[in-house]
Structure 1
């Protein structure tokens, strides 16, 4: 509880920093005045239509990526089993890029296509991997992810320059186009998914004991695993649809939360870590990197996550050699 309270405080503080500070600063009294309807020339539009929806969207996207990534990593008992590594995010990316490049899609259409692509590819990966085969699912996912990346490269090579630019921004993962419509859509989707994630969260820890032990404790293992996979895919799909495949958030949130909790699993803690990562990275990308233009948040999360992935691979290899 103390760890979750601390993470919630950190997330709230980062939310406030993103809203109040940056290239345009606003005082706390002025913010609450605008929040309750007062119009301050110049400030009201920047804060209420730009900074506030961007910060709220970043918070929600981070929560969804953190919880979704932890579900997969815990279910498959492997920190590498992150949706942005085993192909689910790549399915959303490939379908969205195809929609942008071939059909000129934008806005809600791209988001819907991304959700459909993520769900279909996840079902394909599960079907190819077979039942009760976490290691095989990771291997199949890696192969499918490589195939989807090749498809995206092929499409981008043949795209018109304007559509290619739109696709690149989406592929990187960005909050630059955040608005209240996206916030409302993502909030509605998460309100439907959160109860399911809460329902399965208690069973997630039991599954860590092994399938036989979990079955002996009265859990329907196959149905529970399928339900967890569907919930995880749904969380990753709606978050990707809202902001693009923000790199490594789903990969980083679970291991960090687990270290803070001394090895225990908490979907709430993982979600709050994910929210903190996205909010901190977006502030850095928007205001602290020289150049004048706000960078996509995925640039910063990718630069942060890549060294962590290398460290994880090296440390895992050392443990394997020691054994």
Structure 2
């Protein structure tokens, strides 16, 4: 890391903060890209609205029909996309940092499959409402995360053991999901398959507020423990010597990552590979060591909104779920990552 990239900012009281100029620049550019894509996405649909009209409507100067389309129909969808992408990006960065493995993301560890299992149980066995499906998905993700943590525990949770246990749990839960689909009638099976694709279609303010509360509580909690997480990447013995309560930090951050991932999946269904790719892309852009939590969060939000914009512009409004687009992009990235890791001798 070049010394010229680090800036020391002195604040009142004699305290100082170290600021990575490149990382800050990346965060600002990602936020601007997410906002620009959001404006373009709000204006995209069967009733197209120019970017200027979208901005005027958001400030209260639009017509009545524009107010309805922008504020009641499209803005909630975009906000859900931003919050879900941010939650998945942050959750993925936490898991990859805790496991010290670029493959240690919720997609690989099976949290998405666990949330899917919870939703399928509600749909197939109880024909539950949309709210019940959301709660079932949240419960399924939490139970799966708890099971992975217990099975991976052996005088602490470490690296490849967490990934291997997660892969095994993912395979089991995937089999359970297949079994549940075979037991469903045609109506419930179709409903389940639609949910399993991961889509922002039909999302409204009832999904925005729970996600906003979840992020408002967990993001500050994660950032408060970010220093401890950075220290654990240097090894447990050194972290303990420096006064870091390693297992407490890991427990708090793993629970936060599970809640973020489960909440995002419960809101829109399993959106694949955002949690895997966002932290990796953020790290490559910032070129900074450590978990890069804030850049990963911004990258996740940008990725999901841009993917939804691409799907709507290429295939028309509500024709292609965003989970299909992220799956294609993320699958290609995963193959590239596996080849790179193999060439480097790490797998």
Query: TM-score range, shorter-chain basis?
Result: over 0.9
What is the CA-CA distance between 1:28 and the residue it aligns to? 4.5
Is residue 2:311 matched to residue 1:285? yes
Q: Is the contact between residue 53 and residue 62 of structure 2 (CA under 8 Å) also seen in structure 1?
A: no
Q: What is the CA deviation profile of residues 221-279 of structure 1, one whole-angstrom value per residue up to 9, with x for unaligned ones?
A: 11111111011111101111111110000000010000011143321100111011100
Q: Which position in structure 1 is the counterpart of 2:28? A: 5
Whole-angstrom distance in 2 between the partners of 1:78 and 1:122:
17
Q: Which position in structure 2 is the counterpart of 1:191? A: 216
Is residue 2:245 matched to residue 1:220? yes
Whole-angstrom distance in 2 between the partners of 1:247 and 1:104:
25
Q: What is the CA deviation profile of residues 3-42 of structure 1, one whole-angstrom value per residue up to 9, with x for unaligned ones?
A: 1111111111111111123443223554355435567354
Q: Is the contact between residue 23 and residue 287 of structure 1 (CA under 8 Å) also seen in structure 2?
A: no
- Residues 84 and 202 of structure 1, relative CA distance in 2, 3 Å threshold: same
Q: Which position in structure 1 is the counterpart of 2:182? A: 157
Query: Aligned to 2:193, which of 156, 168, 179?
Result: 168
SS of the residue 1:84 aligns to: helix
Q: Which position in structure 1 is the counterpart of 2:16? A: none
What is the CA-CA distance between 1:47 and the residue it aligns to? 1.9
SS of the residue 1:85 aligns to: helix
Unaligned runs of 5+ in 2: 1-23
Q: Which position in structure 2 is the counterpart of 1:311? A: 336
Whole-angstrom distance in 2 between the partners of 1:109 and 1:34:
34
Is residue 2:88 matched to residue 1:62? no
> Considering only aligned residues, what root-mean-square deviation do their CA atoms show, in Å?
1.8
What is the CA-CA distance between 1:43 and the residue it aligns to? 3.0
Q: Which position in structure 2 is the counterpart of 1:137? A: 162
What is the CA-CA distance between 1:136 and the residue it aligns to? 1.3
- Residues 11 and 32 of structure 1, relative CA distance in 2, 3 Å threshold: closer
What is the CA-CA distance between 1:111 and the residue it aligns to? 1.2
What is the CA-CA distance between 1:191 and the residue it aligns to? 1.2
Q: Which position in structure 2 is the counterpart of 1:105? A: 128
Q: Which position in structure 2 is the counterpart of 1:95? A: 118
Whole-angstrom distance in 1 between the partners of 2:158 and 2:71:
48
Aligned residues: 321
Whole-angstrom distance in 2 between the partners of 1:289 and 1:96:
28
Whole-angstrom distance in 2 between the partners of 1:211 and 1:185:
35
Given the two structures, how large is their TM-score scaled by the length of structure 2? 0.88
Whole-angstrom distance in 1 between the partners of 2:34 and 2:341:
30
Given the two structures, how large is their TM-score scaled by the length of structure 1? 0.94
Query: Aligned to 2:296, which of 270, 279, 297?
Result: 270
**4+ residue runs of structure 1 moved beyond 6 angstroms?**
none
Unaligned runs of 5+ in 1: none
